[in-house]
């Protein structure tokens, strides 16, 4: 498996898509039940293949990621040839994961305790794996509103 297996909830949400996937593998509902019962390792492999297909589709569509921790924000634009990072680091005891801390940041972007950095990074051979690694480290896929807001402010 290249990425990670979908959770039970994700499989339930994608139930129809999984049925279509099994159909493309010429596996009927009866055969699927038999596989789960008699060849669980083959059923597990099918779950893994489907998970990777879903992740591949999601990662291909992802345009922005963000990772927010108490003292920092990392905003990524996933451009065609490279990632662009806007990093925001806070000195002191401001916690931007709280609404009070985030509001403070919004109102005090030019405060000396707020530090901005920008960087570009080329993708490795596997662009989607680079994106997935960031997600595994805590980033979430977004529409890019915060990235675009900060980009306008600092550029």
Rounded to 5 degrees, φ, ψ at 83 are -95, 145
pLDDT(92) > 90: no
pLDDT digits (tens, 9 = 90+) for 132-152: 999 999 999 999 999 999 999
Q: What is the end-to-end Cα distance of the chain in Å, rounded?
A: 40
Contact 97, 68 (CB under 8 A): yes
pLDDT, residue 48, reads 96
Q: Among 4, 3, 144, which residue's Cα sits nearest to residue 62?
A: 144
Q: Is 138 left (phi over 0), alpha (psi -120 to 50) or beta?
A: left
DSSP string, 129-143: HHHHHHHHTT-EEE-
pLDDT (average), residues 103-122: 93
Q: Is a pLDDT exceeding 90 seen at residue 123?
A: yes
pLDDT of residue 155: 85
- If pLDDT is split at 50, 70 and 90, which confidence band does 121 have? very high
Q: State pTM to two decimals.
A: 0.86
Q: What is the pLDDT of residues 27-83, one digit of tens each?
A: 999 999 999 999 999 999 999 999 999 999 999 999 999 999 999 999 999 999 999
CB 140 within 8 A of CB 66: yes
């Amino acid at each position: 498996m290249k990425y990670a297996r979908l959770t039970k909830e994700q499989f339930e949400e994608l139930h129809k898509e999984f049925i279509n996937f099994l159909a493309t593998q010429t596996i009927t509902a009866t055969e699927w039940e038999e596989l789960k019962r008699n060849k669980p390792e083959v059923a597990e492999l099918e779950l893994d293949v489907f998970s990777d297909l879903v992740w591949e589709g999601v990662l291909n569509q992802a345009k922005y990621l963000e990772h927010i921790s108490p003292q920092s924000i990392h905003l990524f634009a996933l451009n065609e040839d490279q990632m662009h990072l806007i990093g925001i680091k806070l000195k002191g005891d401001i916690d931007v994961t709280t609404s009070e801390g985030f509001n403070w940041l919004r109102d005090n972007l030019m405060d000396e305790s707020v530090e901005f950095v920008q960087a570009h990074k080329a993708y490795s051979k596997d662009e989607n794996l680079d994106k997935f690694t960031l997600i595994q480290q805590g980033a979430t896929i977004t529409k890019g509103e915060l990235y675009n807001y900060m980009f306008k402010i600092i550029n």
